[in-house]
Amino acid sequence: MKLYAIDNLVSQTARIAEPWTFPNRAMEGFSDKDAFLEYRKKPSTKHLHYSAFEGLDPLLRVTESNKAVVLHGVVADYDASITVEERAAVLEKVKVEFRPQWVSRTFSGGARLIWAFEEPVCVPSNEAAKAFLKVFRKKMKVGAIFPGLDEEALCNPATYYEAGVEWVRLSEDVVPRNLVWQWMAQSGEGMRWDKLHTAIPVEKVAEEVVRQYPGRWQGSFELGARGVRFWDFTADNETSAVVRESGMQCFTGPSAFVPWGAILGRRFVEEYEADRLGRVIATLWFDGREYWRQGDDGRFQSLGREDMRLWLKSKHALSASVPRGESCSEVDHALRMVQENKRVVCAAPAVLKPIGLIRVSGQAVLNVSTVRVIEPAPGPLKWGEGFPWIAAFLDGFFEPQEQLDFFLAWLKRFYETGWRRALLPGQATFLCGEKDQGKNLLSNVIVSKLVGGHVDAADYLTGQTKFSGSFFEMPLWTMDDVTPLADAAKHRHYTALLKKMVANRIFSADEKFKKVQTVEWCGRIIVTTNLDPESIRILPALDVSNQDKVCLFRVRTMEREFPANVVEIITGELPYLGRWLYDWEMPKEVVGSVRYGVKPYIEESLLAEARQSSDTAQFEELLGAFLKQLPEKTSEWAGTATDLMAQLAGVEGFGPLLRDITPSRIGRLLAKLEGSGYLRFERNMTARFWRVDIEKFWGREGVSDVPF
């Protein structure tokens, strides 16, 4: 007989042990039961606590997550004070044929008995084990041997018993396997086997058993009947398995319960489910709180339990009445099947991803987004064929013209992967130009209609709202230059958020009065801006970490005429543009990394404008103003970030400029500028020093305001 032991009551690892050989010196060193219990709970304690249960992973203790799968015997614990003489006379009190093998004394003076099985028996669940132990207690008259039987511990597979002392071998008896199997089968009669897996009428199963395993089952195939594990051709014991509603309960073999799907094939089970309830639940899902159904139009709707019951009765004519001898109606079975087989962690939009069940961070999520890109026309097509107005518009839209291929490549990746419902990420795009050049027409009409829609996300991107949930329902976020960015802190937040939206794929969607959900979003952001000094501030700060995440396009300024029905014209041409994009092979010079697929394009004059919006550019302006205050012919400034802060604060009129400046922030800004050519870093034993070459500072590219 195998017993499995752990060192202490918090240990997770188990090993095979013989408690009767354990030198239990620790128990004799304690006079107080509570103190001994605290000792047993310490992670550092090296003691022995044993169980007759073996877990699914035998090297771990039995818990709710590591279910008991094999039982090697039974341990009974008696809490009453029992004398040495009473323990010695234990066999006189055993009124059944099969006697316990061992008896020991517990810390409190009680007794423990151990019965061994002829063969270990498989248990299908912790609940089944508890049911069996109740039968064993009754059949073996366990409670009558000594007073104080701990029934709760007896029937709990997670119980581990302290090693005890004064072990005495009582007998060589083992409980025969056939008797153990009989009791295991008897205890299983009251279990709800239909809760474990799909329950199928036994008559239908019997027909399939005869078809797949002719001659392997002897006698009537009915619920509760015992026979051979007929699907295992090495099995020969005629009583080692029991027919249950959803599969076979087994006393031997690798598993204590084998569902019909594993025996007769998943196809057989699926065909049965499809016959009655399968078609009903195919479009139903459960998120733990609400049921979701997909309508004939493909859209999803959430329903509470009672609304779902009404829908099942009225739409599919399922019965809500419980048949005689049953505990559940057809409606109840349908709801159970949805809960067991169609459960998701949440229902959330994942635009241009497969509709229905998807995996987000390894979790099952119901994708309720039905957004689609526009269906492409038949092809192949030449440039402008079927979309002459759009082609002419795009041909004259960019300056310089080389930008067009980069934009079309960006749009192709967006459209093509979206059409395949495998949307891949891409850069945030900025369209920068004078008024009335069609920037919003390109973003809000052409691109939006092509990929399935857009939403104005300005409030979220600029920090005016934290509720992002509704924005993730659209593949395209747009923003125009009328949105103010009042200060440097808001601009930094805006730049960081743009970078996050492009670089990440998994987000928390926070919607007012609703539960925060985890969503997958690989959409695009298009920002349109005019070129005046106020509007151009909407460009993000650019540094090495985010230059690959944006495209800055300059729009050509020219006289443009837009027909009154331009939206109607564009709508009619978009399927042809979609076909051309799908078939178009991108030029090698625009193909980028796997991450974004297309090289980022940043027009040079716009790059300069974006740099002026950065923290470092604003700091350079402040630094330049400070250097102008130094005596003539000063060639270098040197000091720590704190020194620079103090000297800046000492310059008259600089106070208002330093409201959000601290020495630590100055240090970070100087570190960003270290590669600029005029700044170098030194360190000694006590401080970090910075040296500014003043001549190189004024001689850097793009500087015109030179004081000498």
> Phi and psi for 107 in degrees, rounded to 5?
-60, -40
Instruction: Say how far apart CA 525 and CA 477 lie, in whole Å.
Output: 5
Q: Is the pLDDT of residue 143 over 80?
A: yes
- What pLDDT sits at residue 360? 85
More confident residue, 576 or 666: 576
**Positive/negative CA dihedral, 165, 169, 172, 176:** negative
- What pLDDT sits at residue 418? 96
Contacts of 436 (CB under 8 A, 6+ apart): 560
**pLDDT (average), residues 468-490:** 80
- 82-102, pLDDT tens digit by residue? 999 999 999 999 988 899 999
- What pLDDT sits at residue 413? 97
C-alpha closest to that of 293 among 314, 321, 272? 314
**pLDDT (average), residues 185-204:** 82
Strand arrangement, sheet containing 241-244:
226-227, 241-244, 247-250, 257-259
Q: Read off the pLDDT band of 544 (50, 70, 90).
A: low
Q: Read off the pLDDT band of 703 (50, 70, 90).
A: low
Q: What percent of the chain has pLDDT over 90?
A: 55
3-state SS, one letter per residue, for 490-535? HHHHHHHHHHHHHHCCEEEECCCCCCCEEEECCCEEEEEECCCCCH
- 603-637, pLDDT tens digit by residue? 888 887 766 656 677 777 888 888 888 888 889 99
Beta-bridge mates of residue 554: 432
- What pLDDT sits at residue 615? 64
Segment of 370-379, 506-515, 671-680 carrying the highest mean pLDDT:
370-379
Strand 679-683 and strand 688-693: pairing?
antiparallel
Sorted by where each begins, the domain ranges of the chain are 3-186, 192-264, 279-345+356-366, 406-609, 618-699
- What pLDDT sits at residue 409? 97
- What pLDDT sits at residue 484? 59
Q: 639 in helix, strand or coil?
A: strand
Amino acid at 352: L
- What pLDDT sits at residue 328? 81
Range of weakest confidence among 151-160, 272-281, 296-305: 272-281
C-alpha closest to that of 61 among 158, 195, 198? 158
Amino acid at 375: E
Q: What percent of the chain has pLDDT over 70?
A: 94
Structure tokens at 157: 């597979």
Q: Read off the pLDDT band of 16 (50, 70, 90).
A: very high
- What pLDDT sits at residue 621? 81
Q: Is the pLDDT of residue 404 over 90?
A: yes
Q: Read off the pLDDT band of 514 (50, 70, 90).
A: low
Mean pLDDT of the chain: 88
**pLDDT (average), residues 348-375:** 90
- What pLDDT sits at residue 706? 46
- 318-355, pLDDT tens digit by residue? 778 775 556 888 788 889 889 988 999 888 899 999 98
Contact indicator for 478, 454 with CB cutoff of 8 Å = yes
Strand 300-303 and strand 291-294: pairing?
antiparallel
**pLDDT (average), residues 259-285:** 82
- What pLDDT sits at residue 191? 84
> Phi and psi for 478 in degrees, rounded to 5?
-120, 160
More confident residue, 705 or 271: 271
Pick the CATH number of 406-609 from 3.40.50, 3.30.1340, 1.10.357, 1.10.3470: 3.40.50
Contact indicator for 131, 191 with CB cutoff of 8 Å = yes
**406-609 shares its CATH topology with 618-699:** no
Segment of 158-172, 336-350, 464-478, 668-682 carrying the highest mean pLDDT:
158-172
Degrees to nearest 5, angle at CA 530 with 524 and 534: 110
Instruction: Say how far apart CA 664 and CA 667 lie, in whole Å.
Output: 5
- What pLDDT sits at residue 512? 54
Task: Please give the model's pTM, rounded to 2 decimal places.
Answer: 0.55
- What pLDDT sits at residue 373? 96
Range of weakest confidence among 34-43, 170-179, 439-448, 598-607: 598-607
> Phi and psi for 307 in degrees, rounded to 5?
-65, -35
- What pLDDT sits at residue 548? 87
- What pLDDT sits at residue 513? 47
Domain 618-699 sits in CATH 1.20.120.50: no
